């Protein structure tokens, strides 16, 4: 009790900042958007150095002291063993974190919609993990959830820095604000859960699995909050963050990767949907936001084939693998698929609908094992 700060010790520093808008999309807007979206192009250009700075700070191991939630230590210590605890701040269009505390847990809605959306979004993400998976906040120890809205000027991104969520307002030409999408908030906070569990390295296939898990639990955050079954869900990540001037409905489509947008400035959604289209690249940390489309489709296919609530079936299997002993920081696609099939056999039984739908999902995207039809789960799986 002599050092309450230790009771709420922050998570180990993230090696990387997780941003919502991938670098190749900001590049496209910066390079091709000057005529149609001048404000967006300028915003995209100015966002990139800032993002790069954050990334390099991450790489240096957070030399600049990160800012903890500005709640009294006693409050934070109590929160560590409690349930949902939220702090929402306003950066007032500066790039300083966390900004002014404007709404704390249990307080009534305020006049600022972005504040209320962030508050509700953090709550929706917390409830998915707590109620559907029995996981108490990001660290399973009731870590308080902190967010900052109105970050920067026309800031075209949102990110989770290992301590808190940060939301830009968007430029209003390409991007609306980032607080309105539950799948985006769920995606970003899921990076916190991933960092506290499998901690998949953010590069190549393990990085694409990191992005994949964040999309899975981002989509499930929205489905759980809306009470949507797999068949009626959109499977979109970031629906509604584009303005009507953009030809696109979201950042990503988990069920039909590569179809989320097709715009003369943004280009076409580059996500592959099958291993035949796997993208070998050094950009985007080896395509972490690109090749995640392949496992995304396997998950969404399995969930929609089964119907019902995805968080009760395929979602349970994925969560168990994420927190289980077999996954490592270096797990790749070919290692991950059998883990989910083996877990489905343990939880639901071999040859059950859940087990078979997951086997089928992986085969549909070109990831299968010669053992998959023999039903010999266990060591080989
Ligand atoms: Zn991400």
Catalytic residue among 150, 187, 196, 289: 289
Predicted confidence (pLDDT) at residue 269 exceeds the cutoff of 60:
yes
Residues whose CB falls within 8 Å of the CB of residue 34, separated by 6 or more in sequence, listed in order = 41
201 has catalytic annotation:
no
pLDDT digits (tens, 9 = 90+) for 278-317: 999 999 999 999 999 999 999 999 999 999 999 999 999 9
pLDDT digits (tens, 9 = 90+) for 200-221: 999 999 999 999 999 999 999 9
Q: How far apart are CA 208 and CA 201, in angstroms?
A: 9
Q: How far apart are CA 166 and CA 146, in angstroms?
A: 9
Q: Ligand 1 centre and the CA of 269: distance in Å?
A: 16
Q: Which residues surround ligand 1, an ion (CB under 5 A)?
A: 18, 214
- With bands split at pLDDT 50, 70 and 90, how would you rate the model's confidence at 6? very low
Percent of the chain scoring above 70 in pLDDT:
83
Nearest CA among 375, 314, 259, 320 for reference residue 134: 320
pLDDT digits (tens, 9 = 90+) for 16-54: 678 888 888 999 999 999 899 998 998 888 766 445 445
Query: Residues 275, 23, 88, 142: is their CA dihedral positive or negative?
Result: positive
Q: How far apart are CA 308 and CA 325, in angstroms?
A: 28
Q: Is 166 helix (H, G, I), strand (E, B) or coil?
A: strand
Q: Ligand 1 centre and the CA of 158: distance in Å?
A: 10
Cβ-contact 302, 318 below 8 angstroms: no
Determine the angle formed by the axes of helices 353-364 and 333-348, rounding to 10 degrees.
170
54 has catalytic annotation:
no
Per-residue pLDDT, averaged over 255-276, amounts to 97
Predicted confidence (pLDDT) at residue 68 exceeds the cutoff of 50:
no
Is residue 222 exposed (0-12), middle (13-18) or buried (19+ Cβ within 10 Å)? buried
Q: What is the pLDDT of residue 47?
A: 67
CB atoms within 10 A of CB 318: 27
Cβ-contact 44, 30 below 8 angstroms: yes
Q: What is the pLDDT of residue 369?
A: 62
Catalytic residue among 105, 117, 188, 222: 188
Q: Ligand 1 centre and the CA of 188: distance in Å?
A: 6
pLDDT digits (tens, 9 = 90+) for 114-155: 999 999 999 999 999 999 999 999 999 999 999 999 999 999
Q: What is the pLDDT of residue 302?
A: 98
Q: Ligand 1 centre and the CA of 229: distance in Å?
A: 24
Q: What is the pLDDT of residue 17?
A: 75
Q: At the fourth CATH level, which superfamily is domain 204-373?
A: Neutral Protease Domain 2 (1.10.390.10)
Q: Ligand 1 centre and the CA of 125: distance in Å?
A: 15
Query: Residues 181, 261, 168, 254: is their CA dihedral positive or negative?
Result: positive
Q: How far apart are CA 351 and CA 342, in angstroms?
A: 11
Q: Is 89 helix (H, G, I), strand (E, B) or coil?
A: strand
pLDDT digits (tens, 9 = 90+) for 160-181: 888 899 999 999 999 998 999 9
Nearest CA among 145, 101, 100, 94 for reference residue 123: 145
Determine the angle formed by the axes of helices 314-323 and 353-364, rounding to 10 degrees.
80
CATH topology of domain 4-196: Elastase; domain 1 (3.10.170)
Would you kindly state where each structural domain of the chain is located, as residue ranges?
4-196, 204-373
Residues whose CB falls within 8 Å of the CB of residue 51, separated by 6 or more in sequence, listed in order = 17, 19, 23, 26, 157, 159
Is residue 150 exposed (0-12), middle (13-18) or buried (19+ Cβ within 10 Å)? buried
Alpha helix ranges (H) inside the chain: 4-7, 23-32, 38-59, 73-80, 113-127, 133, 182-196, 204-226, 283-287, 293-306, 314-323, 333-348, 353-364
| Alpha carbon distances (Å) from 200 to 36, 163, 178, 318 | 39, 18, 25, 14
Structure-token match 């192009």, residue found: 41
Beta pairing class for 145-149 and 86-90: parallel
Cβ-contact 332, 300 below 8 angstroms: no
């Amino acid at each position: 009790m002599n050092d309450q700060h230790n009771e709420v010790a922050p998570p180990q520093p993230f090696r990387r900042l997780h941003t919502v808008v991938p670098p190749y999309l900001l590049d496209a807007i910066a390079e091709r958007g000057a005529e149609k979206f001048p404000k967006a192009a300028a915003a995209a250009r100015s966002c990139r150095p800032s993002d790069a700075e954050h990334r390099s700070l991450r790489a240096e191991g957070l030399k600049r002291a990160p800012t903890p939630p500005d709640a009294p230590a006693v409050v934070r210590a109590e929160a560590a063993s409690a349930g949902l605890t939220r702090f929402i701040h306003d950066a007032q269009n500066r790039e300083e974190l966390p900004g002014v505390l404007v709404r704390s847990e249990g307080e009534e809605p305020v006049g600022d919609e972005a504040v209320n959306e962030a508050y509700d979004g953090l709550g929706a993400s917390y409830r998915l993990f707590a109620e559907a998976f029995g996981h108490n906040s990001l660290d399973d120890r009731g870590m308080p959830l902190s967010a900052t809205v109105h970050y920067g000027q026309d800031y075209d991104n949102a990110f989770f820095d290992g301590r808190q969520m940060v939301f830009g307002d968007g430029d209003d030409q390409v991007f609306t604000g980032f607080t309105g999408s539950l799948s985006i908030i769920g995606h970003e906070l899921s990076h916190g859960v991933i960092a506290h569990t499998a901690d998949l390295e953010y590069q190549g296939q393990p990085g694409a699995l990191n992005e994949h898990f964040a999309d899975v639990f981002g989509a499930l955050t929205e489905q759980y909050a809306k009470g949507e079954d797999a068949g009626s869900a959109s499977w979109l990540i970031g629906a509604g963050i584009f303005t009507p001037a953009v030809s696109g409905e979201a950042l990503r489509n988990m069920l039909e990767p590569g179809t989320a947008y097709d715009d003369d400035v943004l280009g076409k959604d580059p996500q592959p949907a099958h291993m035949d289209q796997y993208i070998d690249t050094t950009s985007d940390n080896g395509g972490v936001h690109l090749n995640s489309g392949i496992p995304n489709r396997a998950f969404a296919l399995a969930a929609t084939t089964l119907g019902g609530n995805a968080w009760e079936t395929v979602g349970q299997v994925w969560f168990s693998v994420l927190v289980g002993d077999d996954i490592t920081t270096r797990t790749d696609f070919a290692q991950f698929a059998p883990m989910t099939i083996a877990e489905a056999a343990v939880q639901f039984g071999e040859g059950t609908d859940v087990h078979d739908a997951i086997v089928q999902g992986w085969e549909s995207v070109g990831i299968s094992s010669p053992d998959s039809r023999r039903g010999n789960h266990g060591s080989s799986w």
